Amino acid sequence: MTTSKTRVVVTRKLPDAIETRMMELFDVQLNLDDAPMTKAQIIEAVKTADVLVPTVTDRIDAGILAQAGPQLKLIANYGTGVDHIDFASARQRGIVVTNTPDVLTEDTADMTMALFLAVSRRIAEGERVMRTGDWQGWAPTWMLGHRIHGKRLGIIGMGRIGQALARRARGFGLSVHYHNRKRVHADVEAELEATYWESLDQMLARVDLVSVNCPHTPATYHLLSARRLQLLQSHAIVVNTARGEVIDENALTRLLEAGDIAGAGLDVFEHEPAVNPKLLALDNTVLLPHLGSATVEGRLDMGEKVLINIKTFADGHNPPDRVLGDAF
């Protein structure tokens, strides 16, 4: 496989600078319309591509990979999460999967803190009042929210993003608690002043704020189930900037409607882009259209990662961001 002839198919519109560099390096098919590719279009792509560059909106399942040509040897995902790719099928067919870790960490952690502030201080509600012209002036007891200083934050998933969030949380005067598949190194725990909970159930019952920062895997599907959500205190706020499937969205909606949970800030949804209409009707939610990584800097950095992974692979070396089986 020579670098100049490597056939790359990109499923969505990427930043201009990234597409231009791709065109210089490879034989590239771009998606100029930026409309999500249909399953039939992705099947046609994998029949001819040496490298496929999908995004989170593309479902690369076993059925698609079964029709891939023998030349497809790399799926260079534009994004960190790879739960939309059938990794077992890819590995069985000798297809390497890469992603773009690290570059989204700070942006996602920023968005998580923004959602906690927006929900607890009722920022979205207040902004809507202003736009509708219903504001009657300042009043001592009107639209009161809650401070987050002094509260307990429970982080589910203490990876790069979870740790970045913990650093921000300390600056806001929060005490940090976390649940993780494995306990982090003692030095990291000491730096973050973080309390580890082996039992997720026990942690949920004791914290005021909950942040979901773990990947979606078979083991984390509905990790926040109806039963676990009911463990939360009535003043608790849940924020999810990871994957919608980690939370039982119907159960969360019911608890929010009943006031059994104080609020939620959601940047991801279980069946996105579809959103539960009952969530849309609630004032105690702040809902965003998957904006966690949506910064100019972040998207350019993601593209640079994709370029490096493809170039390294095309040159006959192991790409730096190869996804291994234990990442699932």
Task: Catalogue the active-site residues.
Answer: 243, 272, 290
Question: Do the domains at 3-103+295-327 and 105-287 have one common CATH topology?
Answer: yes
On whether the 3-103+295-327 domain is CATH 3.30.1370.60, my answer is: no
- Range list of β-strands (E), the chain: 7-10, 27-29, 51-53, 74-76, 96-98, 152-156, 175-179, 194-196, 209-212, 237-240, 263-266, 285-287
Q: What pLDDT does 5 receive?
A: 82
Domain range list for the chain = 3-103+295-327, 105-287
Strand partners, 238: 210, 264
User: pLDDT by residue (tens digit) across 242-285?
Assistant: 999 999 999 999 999 999 999 999 999 999 999 999 999 999 99
Phi–psi pair at 224, nearest 5 degrees: -90, 85
Regions in the chain scoring below 70 on pLDDT: 1-4, 325-328
Q: What is the pLDDT of residue 4?
A: 54
Query: Is domain 105-287 in CATH 2.20.25.90, yes or no?
Result: no
175-219 tens-digit pLDDT: 999 999 999 999 999 999 999 999 999 999 999 999 999 999 999
Q: What is the pTM of this model?
A: 0.89
CA distance 110 to 196: 22
